[in-house]
Amino acid sequence: MANFFTLAQAWRPMLDPLPIGEYWPFLLIPLALGISIAYKAVRVGSREAYLKSVVMMTTQIVLAMIAMGVAAYLFIWFVIPAITPISA
């Protein structure tokens, strides 16, 4: 975290890349939110249902990505070694 603040002091917004380091997976949340805001504005039927739809879609995207990440982890670390024995 200290490294982040040190780098951030030299950061010029919009000109230099954000020194986000290892925290980059958290950018999934604004990505999902932005997609939901724009997509549901076109898709949803009424203004009253808009905010609820945006929150719902954002949550669905984030949870689905986490679930796929867990599934990929389990597949790589447990399923693949089980079906392809590696000789020493």
Partner 1 sequence: MGRSLSPAPIQPIIQTSMSDSPQHTTPGTSDSVNREVFRPIAGILAVLFPGAGHVYLKQTWRGVGVAVGVLGLFFGGILIGGIDVVDRNEDTIWFIGQAFVGPIAFATDRYHQTRLKAHEKVVSDGKYIPGAMRTGNPGEKREMRQNIPVWEPTAGGRPPNSKSLAHPNEIGTLFATIAGMLNLIAILDALFHRESRAEIDLNAPADSTDPEAEPSAKPAKEGA
> Do the Cβ atoms of 7 and 19 come closer than 8 Å?
yes
Q: How many residues bind partner 1 (CB under 8 A)?
A: 30
Q: Does 68 bind partner 1 (CB under 8 A)?
A: no
By CB under 8 A, name the one of 4, 7, 18, 61 that touches partner 1: 18
**CA–CA distance, 50 with 67 (Å, rounded to integer):** 26
What number of other Cβ atoms are within 10 A of residue 61's Cβ?
17
By CB under 8 A, name the one of 6, 16, 60, 73 that touches partner 1: 16
**CA–CA distance, 51 with 48 (Å, rounded to integer):** 7
Q: Does 35 bind partner 1 (CB under 8 A)?
A: yes
Q: Does 27 bind partner 1 (CB under 8 A)?
A: yes
By the criterion CB under 8 A, which residues form the site for partner 1?
12-20, 24, 27, 30-31, 34-47, 49-50, 53
